[in-house]
Structure 1
Amino acid sequence: MEPTEHNAEAMLKAAEKVGTAVRTRVPQERPLYVGMGVTILLIGLAVDLNNAGGVASLVGATAAAVALAITVGTNVPYLRRYRQVRTRSTPHWLEWALGLWSALALFVLGNLLDGTVGFSFTLGGIVGAVPFLLWAQRLRRTP
């Protein structure tokens, strides 16, 4: 039995469906960076609210707990599948640079503006979160 054009087309369509299914199940890096950006922002807010005292401290502690939950919720599922499926596309030096930038922005900017701006650590959290969110946007646009 000779392969026909119809059989070849059916085989190519079946292979394309399998490829699409595999690509959709590949762990995405983008949620990691969105989660870290939101975490940095919530940590800055938590520090400001904890400095305010009273009920705001409870809200700040809740924000810190939510930040931790977001980090764990985005990283643990990715790491479980990451070891089995593929390597990450983000270079390690960039991850270190993003982490260093966010820590410096959060604590240096927060301490420098403390007393002059009401929510200085939140502002530092926003400045620290922006590079994570921009990198997540870049990962979303790359195939």
Structure 2
Amino acid sequence: MLRDAGQVGTAVRARAPREYPLYVAAGATIVLLGAAVDLNIAGGAASVVGTVLVVVALAVMVVTNGAYYLRYRKVRARSTPMRVEWALGLCAAAAYFALGTLLDGTIGFSFTLGGLVGAVPFLLWAQRLRRAA
């Protein structure tokens, strides 16, 4: 009976909600938005590619967060504190806009670089959550 209880416990933990895909999607969205801004600045056909990147980035966020809320929000609340999410967002926005604005004109893809630097906190937090699970 104890062995069966252990197997049930393992099965329940395996189906438990995972938060790390939310933060991976947020990091990917920030990178894609940075690339989209740079491509829109370039103009021409690159603007179409930039628009497609924005649509892809928003689709990634909607699908990832939508699946989480529909499937897992009913089971338990997220374990990441709200202050950590705000800190991650502020770090990403500061990196994105600081690098994008300060390096604009000196290198070709300054907003993409800002997006890459801004995505790092989200990806590190996702890695922490994945290891804790």
Q: TM-score, normalised by structure 2?
A: 0.95
Q: Secondary structure of the residue that 1:42 maps to in structure 2?
A: helix
| Aligned mates of 1:54, 1:13 — CA distance in 2 | 64
Q: Structure 2, unaligned stretches of length 5 or more? A: none
Match of 2:14 in 1: 24
2:111 to 99, 103, 121: 121
| Aligned mates of 1:94, 1:82 — CA distance in 2 | 20
- Provide the identity percentage: 67
Q: Secondary structure of the residue that 2:83 maps to in structure 1?
A: helix
Match of 1:12 in 2: 2
Larger Rg: 1
- Runs of 4 or more above 4 Å deviation: none
Q: RMSD value over aligned CA atoms?
A: 1.1
- Residue 57 of structure 1 pairs with residue 55 of structure 2: no
How far does the alpha carbon of each residue in 1:84-112 deviate from its partner, in whole angstroms, 9 at most, with x for none?
A: 21222211101001011111211222011
| Aligned mates of 1:26, 1:91 — CA distance in 2 | 18
Q: Secondary structure of the residue that 1:83 maps to in structure 2?
A: coil
Q: Structure 1, unaligned stretches of length 5 or more? A: 1-10
Aligned letter for 1:55?
A
Match of 2:79 in 1: 89
Pairwise CA distance, 1:47: 0.2
Q: TM-score, normalised by structure 1?
A: 0.89
Match of 1:34 in 2: 24
Match of 2:90 in 1: 100
How far does the alpha carbon of each residue in 1:39-69 deviate from its partner, in whole angstroms, 9 at most, with x for none?
A: 0000000000010011111111111111001
Q: Secondary structure of the residue that 2:97 maps to in structure 1?
A: helix
How many residues matched?
Answer: 133
Question: Which gives a bigger RCO, structure 1 or 2 (Cα 8 Å, sep 6+)?
Answer: 2
